[in-house]
């Protein structure tokens, strides 16, 4: 699918895309660090929401656009997962 076809699919013109890109300073609306390029859209209404990087777009898609699921995932990460709580002990850090 061409870039023009993608824009038509989400109901935005190249001018609107450019405006979004400029107002987002060219960065992803979620991570604020990677270059934006993917038109994110509401899967129910089809309305565009903003521009994302491919990784953040996949993140939202895998979470089925569920804020509840994304908040639960953030809580899980911030609290160190569940293993130490379920098993009652700490685990040594693994070097990356």
Q: Tens-of-pLDDT digits for all 96 residues of the chain?
A: 677 777 788 888 999 999 999 999 999 999 999 999 999 999 888 889 999 999 999 999 999 999 999 999 999 999 888 887 788 887 777 876
**CATH code of the domain in which 37 resides:** 3.40.1800.10
CA-angle at 64, arms to 61 and 68, nearest 5°: 125
- Answer whether residue 96 is part of any domain: no
In a domain, 93, yes or no: no
Please check whether residue 28 is in contact with residue 36, taking contact to mean a CB–CB distance below 8 angstroms. yes
In a domain, residue 69? The reply is yes
Q: Is residue 27 part of a domain?
A: yes
Within a domain: residue 95?
no
Distance (Å, rounded) from C-alpha 76 to C-alpha 68? 12
Residue at 14 is within a domain: yes
> Domain residues for 37?
3-87
């Amino acid at each position: 699918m061409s870039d023009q076809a993608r824009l038509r699919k989400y109901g935005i013109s190249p001018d609107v895309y450019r405006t979004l890109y400029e107002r987002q300073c060219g960065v992803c609306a979620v991570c604020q660090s990677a270059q934006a390029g993917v038109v994110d859209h509401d899967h129910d209404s089809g309305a565009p929401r903003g521009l994302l990087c491919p990784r953040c777009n996949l993140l939202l898609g895998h979470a089925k656009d569920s804020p509840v699921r994304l908040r639960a995932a953030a809580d899980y990460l911030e609290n160190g997962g569940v293993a130490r709580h379920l098993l009652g002990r700490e685990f040594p850090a693994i070097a990356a």
